[in-house]
Structure 1
């Protein structure tokens, strides 16, 4: 049975909170959009017929100023093409790596009242996602 994730699990979020908060972090985001966005009844975008991708664009537009204010930036972005290693029935629409000066900045962002309004667009947009924290490393011309 396929499992889908939109929000952090309590265990995953606790593990994130226990890591250092004062060093740069990279957050890998994998996104799979709904065909039709699913907004709650009464929301200003409910019934507009938006695609999941369009709802995610709205999330980017409304959360972007807060993301930038806390020092966030996108260091890589791409569109999924093929699963080379992994389950062949699993696919993503888009992926990106967000960089934050530390997890304290991430917490500042998600606690912001304007962000909490914006995140409704993300929830409406996605059927599945992954969010993974990495400690940034050095690039180079080798795998090791």
Structure 2
């Protein structure tokens, strides 16, 4: 399997921080779950037999109030069906994807710095085999491709 990505690299996170902070942002999330969640030894959910998907559901449950509290909302969600353009399916199968909207990047920073969010994110880390998180400037919806 190709390299997995769960957390941002320092270089990628700096590029995120260098972008404008005062405009709405969309964050595309692509998720590939572990068969079984991998919690650290001593964590309350370690050894509970949860699937990666179940651990990610716990992340959603425990982080939702913080996400909503900074003005975040999910504007699109979908379940992966097949790769049309990209690597062969055996190489990269995403289980789920969604787009989270934030009023600005400051809201995203406030969320990830929140102590309760930092406790919740352990569920995300335990859940994911691989992921992608990409920032987009929202554009106009509707119409054609161009």
User: What interval of TM-score do these two structures reach, taking the shorter chain for normalisation?
Assistant: over 0.9
CA distance in 2, matches of 1:8, 1:60: 19
Aligned ranges 1:7-18 → 2 under 5 Å: 7-18=7-18
Q: Match for residue 47 of structure 2?
A: 47
CA distance in 2, matches of 1:140, 1:68: 26
When normalised by structure 1's length, the TM-score is 0.99
Aligned mate of 1:141, from 121, 140, 143: 143
Q: Match for residue 111 of structure 2?
A: 109
Q: Match for residue 125 of structure 2?
A: 123
Aligned ranges 1:6-85 → 2 under 5 Å: 6-85=6-85
Q: Using the TM superposition, give the Cα deviation of residue 140 of structure 1 relative to its aligned residue in structure 2, in angstroms.
A: 1.5
Q: Secondary structure in 2 aligned to 1:138?
A: coil
Corresponding pairs, count: 144
CA distance in 1, matches of 2:30, 2:127: 13
When normalised by structure 2's length, the TM-score is 0.97
CA distance in 1, matches of 2:92, 2:69: 34
- The ranges of structure 1 where at least 4 consecutive aligned residues each deviate by more than 6 angstroms after the TM superposition are none
* Ranges in structure 1 where 5+ consecutive residues have no aligned partner: none
RMSD over aligned Cα atoms: 0.7
CA distance in 1, matches of 2:130, 2:142: 32
Q: Using the TM superposition, give the Cα deviation of residue 3 of structure 1 relative to its aligned residue in structure 2, in angstroms.
A: 1.2
Q: Secondary structure in 2 aligned to 1:124?
A: helix
* Ranges in structure 2 where 5+ consecutive residues have no aligned partner: none
